[in-house]
Amino acid sequence: MALYELTKTAITPLGQTTFATQGFAERVDLQRLLRERIEAIAPDTLVIAEEFCEWDESKRRIDLLGVDKDANLVVIELKRSEDGGHMELQAIRYAAMVSAMSFSKAVEVYARYLGHNNVKDAEIALRSFLEDTSADTFGSEVRIVLVSAEFSKEVTTSVLWLNQHDIDIRCVRLRPYALDNRVLLDVQQVIPLPETAEFTIKTREKAEENRRLLGTEADFSKYNLTVDGITLASLTKRSLVLEAVKAALAHGLPPEQIASLVPESKWISVDGELTADKFRDEVSKLQAKLGGKYDLRRYFCEDGELFRIAGRTYALSNQWSLQTISLVDELIARLPAGSLSYFKTPDVV
pLDDT score at 205: 62
Report the range of poorest mean pLDDT among 81-90, 144-153, 263-272: 81-90
CA angle 230, 236, 242 (to 5 degrees): 65
Q: How far apart are CA 55 and CA 77, in angstroms?
A: 17
Closest CA relative to residue 325, chosen from 225, 212, 191, 211: 225
pLDDT greater at residue 83 or residue 139: 139
The mean per-residue pLDDT over the stretch 236-260 comes to 91
Residue 294, pLDDT > 70, answer no
Has residue 64 got a pLDDT over 70?
yes
| Contact indicator for 91, 77 with CB cutoff of 8 Å | yes
Amino acid at site 159: V
Instruction: Name the least confident of 8-12, 41-45, 150-154, 200-204.
Output: 200-204
Instruction: Check residue 261 and give its pLDDT.
Output: 85
Q: Across residues 177-192, what is the average pLDDT?
A: 89
Pairing of strands 73-79, 142-148: parallel
pLDDT tier, 53 (very low <50, low <70, confident <90, very high otherwise):
confident
Q: What percent of the chain has pLDDT over 70?
A: 83
Q: Is the pLDDT of residue 256 over 60?
A: yes
Residue 255 preceded by cis peptide, ω within 30: no
Residue 216: the pLDDT is: 42
All structural domains of the chain with their residue ranges: 4-211, 223-344
Query: Percent of the chain scored above 90 by pLDDT?
Result: 35
The pLDDT mean for the chain works out to 84
Reported as a single tens digit per residue, the pLDDT across 26-38 is 777 889 999 999 9
How confident is the model at residue 192, as a pLDDT?
83
pLDDT at 337 (0 to 100): 87
pLDDT of the residue at 282: 87
Q: Give per-residue pLDDT as tens, 164-178.
A: 888 899 999 999 999
**pLDDT band at residue 199, thresholds of 50, 70 and 90?**
low
**Contact predicate 126/105, CB 8 Å:** no
Q: Is residue 3's pLDDT more than 70?
A: yes
Tally of CB atoms within 10 A around 74:
26
Q: What is the CATH number of domain 4-211?
A: 3.40.1350.10
More confident residue, 173 or 198: 173
Look at residue 228 and tell me whether its pLDDT is greater than 70. yes
Find the range with the poorest average confidence among 121-125, 127-131, 196-200, 330-334. Answer: 196-200
Residue 145 has pLDDT above 90, yes or no: yes
Can you tell me whether residue 74 is helix, strand or coil? strand
- What is the rounded CA–CA span in Å between residue 61 and residue 221? 43
Determine the Cα–Cα distance for residues 45 and 42; give it in Å rounded to an integer. Answer: 6
Nearest-angstrom CA–CA distance, 273 and 186: 40
Nearest C-alpha neighbor of 253 from the set 323, 320, 324, 327 = 327
When pLDDT is cut at 50, 70 and 90, the band that residue 135 belongs to is low
